[in-house]
Structure 1
Amino acid sequence: MVSRFKRILIGRPMKSSEIEGEKLSKLKALAVLSSDALSSVAYGTEQILLVLMVAGLAAVWYSIPISIAVLGLLLVLILSYRQTIFSYPAGGGAYIVAKDNLGVSTGLLAGGSLLVDYILTVAVSTSAGTDAITSAFPSLHDHRVSIALVMIVILTIINLRGITESASVLAMPVYLFVIAIFILIISGVVKFMAGGAHAAVPELGTTVSNISLFLLLKAFSSGCSALTGVEAMSNAIPNFKQPAERNAAKTLIMMGTILGAMFIGISLLAYWYGIMPNEKETVVSQIANATFGRGVVYYIIQGVTALILFLAANTAYAAFPLLAFMLAKDKYMPNMFMARGDRLGFSNGIIILGVLSAMLVIAFHGNTENLIPLYAVGVFIPFTLSQLGMMVRWFKLKPSGWKTRLIINTIGMLTTLAITLIFIFTKFSHVWMVFIFLPLVIMLFYGIHRHYMNMANELRINLTEDKPVIKGSTIVVPIAGITRVVNHSLSYAKSLTDNVVAVYVGFDDEDIERMDKKWEEWNPGVRLIVLRSSYRSIIRPLMRFIDTIEWKTSETDHITVLIPQFITKHWWHYFLHNQTSLMLRAYLYAQKDVVIATVPYHLRK
């Protein structure tokens, strides 16, 4: 039943040889890996206006030069990451670049920041998508956490079905969103030019007495939240069809062009229409309402905006498992992240991402505004480290044209470093937990790595000297009475060795005498040891006996504890029986260097 349900959810298992068919074309990769960046136009302008409103309505004209500055940074990042793609075609992005050029600790800082960023991406995207729905249907506002959680579950299942299938599902909504936003921008510009929009807005260059450089920098850093997701192409190069790096670079340029055009278009319309941030209605919703009214076109735009904001999380679902795989391959994350699932995706990474992002949505009550500063810091730290790593690489290798490349990466590094510092200083109350969480993540990485190294050293053998030691075997069979389960277990034990001991724990004289008499009558050809337990404990007397056997025979024999276990026909029958065998196994695993085996006996009724 469980297997059938799993097949319905995620589809048939795929052969390892089918992995090439899971690679992405440029158009599908644009849908999967650009959804995060493209969707950010739905809240990037809004984040700028939220900050500027502190200085009053007269300050909103600053949103235009700030948006142009964000576009300039986007251009630098596109050029920088294009160089990263060709330099590191195996993927890994900032983690690999920083580890290779700046050292392991810096690489882990970049990798840890990106992992946190991808978790936040899912939480922010689903929360923002919920905001778009509640803007159109205000009655749903109180249910935004539940809506976001349902969408996380749906996205997790879609991605467990494989990257190609998720790309097929995503392609249509992503391209519908792009078309819808361009229709909105073109229609809005036409309406404004025709004089259809008459909003009282301050002219560009209007003097604002209470504006400050600090406030402008804060608004700029908030607008840079629209650039999150730009690095996804360099992280996920292995997901592209061959030639992978060339296709990734072309897709990156396509994404940057579309993102830049949509972002500046929304910013211009918000300024021209005099749009102000509203807690219960997004900026895009207000622009669509001002352009088309609350008709069919408005609801189509809101629908595809909500959908792309939800699906933006898919960028993280594509990149998080790959990055976790690379960290696991270097022994900084658990080995389970290297395992491919039935559909050839890194399913453990997908599931963990879904669980952690759902916990964040619940913790922050689906409040996007509280999550975005953390989200942006999480991505701008890797941005900065990646650019710095590329600078070091050009200095080391000095390939043809390296000075131009160095200049591009230097500009990128200085700009992203400045934005990171702006975020830290202007929104410290929102991002302070990064300074606690990231060191803990890096300590966890090192702890995992230390465990794997210690384990490897302890398990490693000398092929010329270390040989198996041949010993005898002593089998201890704990029994609770004389039953078919015990008979079955003793038969198996005697097939392995003649040195078999049955052990019974009795609580009183009458119980012990009855067991001795029955055993003598049955006479299975196995010695019975009866232990008295004055405190009604079964585990402690057994442990003392096993200690004695181990001390006397460990040099000459392997000690095996063979545990009889009956298996009930229905799962709920387990609750009708004590679980002494489970406790015994758990204790032995934790305490003893003995072989532990279970002999199952299946009940028919």
Structure 2
Amino acid sequence: MYSTFKRILIGKPRKSADIEGEKLGKLKALAVLSSDALSSVAYGTEQILLVLIAAGAAALWYSVPISMAVLGLLVILIISYRQTIFAYPSGGGAYIVAKDNLGRAPSLVAGGSLLVDYILTVAVSSSAGTDAITSAFPSLHEHRIAIALVMIIFLTIMNLRGVTESATVLAVPIYLFVVAIFVLIISGVFHYVVYGGGAAASHLEAAASNVSLFLVLKAFSSGCSALTGVEAVSNAIPNFRDPAPRNAAATLMMMGIILGSMFIGISLLAFWYGVRPSATETVISQIAATTFGRSTMYYLIQGATALILFLAANTAYSAFPLLAFMLAKDKFMPHMFMVRGDRLGYSNGIIFLSVMSAVLVIAFHGNTENLIPLYAVGVFIPFTLSQLGMMLRWLKHKPAGWTVKLAINTVGMLTTMSITLIFIFTKFSQVWVVFIFLPIVLYLFTQINRHYNNTAEQLRVNLDSELVIKGNTVIIPVAGLTKVVANTISYAKTISDQVVAVYVGFDDESIAKMERKWERWNPGIRLVTIKSSYRSIIGPLRKFIDTVQWKKGKEDHITVVIPQFVTKHWWENILHNQTSLLIRAYLINYKDVIVTTVPFHLNK
């Protein structure tokens, strides 16, 4: 039943040889890896306005120069990450750059920040998509958490089906959003030229005297949330078809041009129309309503916006598993993140990402505004470390034209570092959690790495040493004389000549009865009976094993062979004692004891 349900959800397993078929071309990669960055158009301008409105409507004029500054930073980041793509064609982005140039600690900070950022990406995207839906249908506002969780489940299933399949399905709504926004911008500009807009421009003089530098910097840092997701292309270069670096660079440039054009267009329209941030209606909803009214086109734009906000999470589903794979390969995350699933994707990474993001959505009650500052800080820390790492790389290797490359990354590093500091100082009340959560993540990385190193050290075989063959003493816990016990004794005799059965009784009568039956049956092995005054089976059995170990020392292995019958139907297990499972669970952690189970299957 489970297997059938799994096949329906994610499809038939694929051969390892089909991995090349999972590579992406530029257009599909643009849809999958740029959805996060492109979706930020839906809330980037709004985040600027939310800060400026604190100084009054007149202050909204500053949204235009702030948006221009954000656009300038976008250009710097696109050029910088294009250099990273060609310098590190194996992917990994900030983590690999920091690892190669800055060392272990900075690389773990970059990797940990990005992992947290991708989890926040899914949470923010699903929450923001829900906001777009509830703007058009206010009656659904009370169900925003359930809507967000349903979308996370949908994206999880799509990505478990494979990269190419999810790209094919998800590319349509993403390109629909791009077309819809450009239609909105062009129509909005035409509407403004013909009919005029709001009164925002008339407040220029008042705005200049009412807004502090602190507020402008805070608004700028909020607007920089529109740049999250820019790094995803450099992280996921292995997902591209050959020549992967060239295709990745072209995709990055296309993303930058589209993102920059849409962001500045929405910011200008918001200013021209005098749009003010609202708790119940998004900025894009207000612009579309002013331009088209509550017409079919309005609902088409809202629908496309909701879709892109939901699907922005797909960038994280592409990048998180790859980054988790690289960290697991370096022994900083569990090795399960290195395993490919039935459809050749890193399924464990996908599922882990979904679970953690769902927890965040529930914890923050689907409130996008509370999540975005954490989201932005999580990505600007790796931005800064990546730029610094590239600076050191150019200084170390000095390839042709390295001075220009160094200058680009220097400007990028200083800018992203400044924005990170602005975020911390202006929104500390919202981002302080990063300073607790990130050290915990780094601590987990180091503990996992220590465990793997210790395990490797203890398991490593000296190829020059001679293998020592030990004997084997087999102990069989028995509860009575049954075919299950007979089957287990038959097996035990094939692995050792030293086999002993142990019966733990609770009173003298049951012990005497067992001894008489055993003597009559005579299976060819000795029976040891133990009386348990406290009705415990595991305690007396453990003491007996200790006695055997003390007598044998290190000369023999001690193997506990547990008889167990398996019912025909799973629910029938509830009707029986699970003593064998308890014994196995306890002894599996018992030092120098081998535990094995011999199943006996019931036919009816």
Common fold by TM > 0.5? yes
Matches within 5 A, 1:516-531: 516-531=515-530
Deviation at 1:230, TM superposition (A): 0.2
Deviation at 1:62, TM superposition (A): 0.6
1:126 aligns with 2:126: yes
Task: Report the AA paired with residue 508 of structure 1.
Answer: D
What secondary structure sits across from 2:206 in the alignment? coil
What secondary structure sits across from 1:34 in the alignment? helix
For 1:108, the equivalent position in structure 2 comes to 108
Q: Is the 8 A contact 1:162 1:345 kept in 2?
A: yes
For 1:509, the equivalent position in structure 2 comes to 508
Higher mean C-alpha deviation, range 183-192 or range 514-523: 514-523
User: In structure 1, what is the Cα distance between the partners aligned to 2:36 and 2:199?
Assistant: 33
User: In structure 2, what is the Cα distance between the partners aligned to 1:244 and 1:414?
Assistant: 29
Q: Is the 8 A contact 1:61 1:203 kept in 2?
A: no
Matches within 5 A, 1:60-139: 60-139=60-139
Q: Is the 8 A contact 2:177 2:304 kept in 1?
A: yes
Q: Is the 8 A contact 2:58 2:203 kept in 1?
A: no
Task: Report the AA paired with residue 563 of structure 1.
Answer: I
User: In structure 2, what is the Cα distance between the partners aligned to 1:21 and 1:584?
Assistant: 48
Q: Is the 8 A contact 2:201 2:272 kept in 1?
A: no
User: In structure 2, what is the Cα distance between the partners aligned to 1:326 and 1:198?
Assistant: 51
For 1:255, the equivalent position in structure 2 comes to 255
Q: Is the 8 A contact 1:394 1:405 kept in 2?
A: yes
Q: Is the 8 A contact 2:557 2:592 kept in 1?
A: no
Matches within 5 A, 1:416-427: 416-427=416-427
For 1:557, the equivalent position in structure 2 comes to 556
Q: Is the 8 A contact 1:80 1:387 kept in 2?
A: yes
Query: What are the Cα deviations for residues 551-585 of structure 1, in whole angstroms up to 9, with x where unaligned?
Result: 11243322111000011111111111121111111
Q: Is the 8 A contact 1:560 1:596 kept in 2?
A: yes
* RMSD of Structure 2 on Structure 1 (CA): 0.9
For 1:2, the equivalent position in structure 2 comes to 2
Task: Report the AA paired with residue 246 of structure 1.
Answer: R
Deviation at 1:204, TM superposition (A): 7.2
What secondary structure sits across from 1:423 in the alignment? helix
Task: Report the AA paired with residue 581 of structure 1.
Answer: S
Task: Report the AA paired with residue 158 of structure 2.
Answer: I
Matches within 5 A, 1:467-506: 467-506=466-505
What secondary structure sits across from 1:203 in the alignment? helix
For 1:331, the equivalent position in structure 2 comes to 331
User: In structure 2, what is the Cα distance between the partners aligned to 1:261 and 1:511?
Assistant: 85
When the two structures are superposed, what TM-score results if normalisation uses the length of structure 1? 0.99
For 1:18, the equivalent position in structure 2 comes to 18
Higher mean C-alpha deviation, range 584-593 or range 93-102: 584-593
For 1:582, the equivalent position in structure 2 comes to 581
1:568 aligns with 2:567: yes
For 1:210, the equivalent position in structure 2 comes to 210
User: In structure 2, what is the Cα distance between the partners aligned to 1:442 and 1:335?
Assistant: 17
Matches within 5 A, 1:307-456: 307-456=307-456
For 1:162, the equivalent position in structure 2 comes to 162
Query: What are the Cα deviations for residues 426-456 of structure 1, in whole angstroms up to 9, with x where unaligned?
Result: 0000000101111111111111111111111
For 1:142, the equivalent position in structure 2 comes to 142
User: In structure 2, what is the Cα distance between the partners aligned to 1:259 and 1:542?
Assistant: 69
Deviation at 1:203, TM superposition (A): 3.4
Deviation at 1:330, TM superposition (A): 0.6
**How many residues matched?**
603
Structure 2 residues not aligned, in runs of 5+: none
User: In structure 2, what is the Cα distance between the partners aligned to 1:569 and 1:267?
Assistant: 66
Query: What are the Cα deviations for residues 35-69 of structure 1, in whole angstroms up to 9, with x where unaligned?
Result: 00000000000000000001101111110110000
Task: Report the AA paired with residue 155 of structure 1.
Answer: L
Structure 1 residues not aligned, in runs of 5+: none
User: In structure 1, what is the Cα distance between the partners aligned to 2:55 and 2:578?
Assistant: 68
Query: What are the Cα deviations for residues 316-359 of structure 1, in whole angstroms up to 9, with x where unaligned?
Result: 00000000000011111110110001111111000000000000
Q: Is the 8 A contact 1:380 1:419 kept in 2?
A: yes
What secondary structure sits across from 1:599 in the alignment? strand
User: In structure 1, what is the Cα distance between the partners aligned to 2:205 and 2:23?
Assistant: 52
1:185 aligns with 2:177: no
Task: Report the AA paired with residue 498 of structure 1.
Answer: D
Q: Is the 8 A contact 2:37 2:227 kept in 1?
A: yes
When the two structures are superposed, what TM-score results if normalisation uses the length of structure 2? 0.99
Task: Report the AA paired with residue 585 of structure 1.
Answer: R
User: In structure 1, what is the Cα distance between the partners aligned to 2:554 and 2:214?
Assistant: 75
Task: Flag the 1:401–1:203 CA change in 2: closer, same or farther, 3 A.
Answer: farther
Query: What are the Cα deviations for residues 72-106 of structure 1, in whole angstroms up to 9, with x where unaligned?
Result: 00000000000000000000000010111111100
What secondary structure sits across from 2:599 in the alignment? strand
Tell me the percent identity.
Answer: 73
User: In structure 2, what is the Cα distance between the partners aligned to 1:231 and 1:437?
Assistant: 22
Query: What are the Cα deviations for residues 24-43 of structure 1, in whole angstroms up to 9, with x where unaligned?
Result: 00000000000000000000
User: In structure 2, what is the Cα distance between the partners aligned to 1:592 and 1:374?
Assistant: 45
User: In structure 2, what is the Cα distance between the partners aligned to 1:498 and 1:116?
Assistant: 56
Q: Is the 8 A contact 1:62 1:204 kept in 2?
A: no
Query: What are the Cα deviations for residues 152-194 of structure 1, in whole angstroms up to 9, with x where unaligned?
Result: 0110110000100110011101100000000011011111111
For 1:236, the equivalent position in structure 2 comes to 236
What secondary structure sits across from 1:491 in the alignment? helix
What secondary structure sits across from 1:500 in the alignment? strand
Query: What are the Cα deviations for residues 102-156 of structure 1, in whole angstroms up to 9, with x where unaligned?
Result: 1110000000000000000000000000000000100000100010001001101
What secondary structure sits across from 2:210 in the alignment? coil
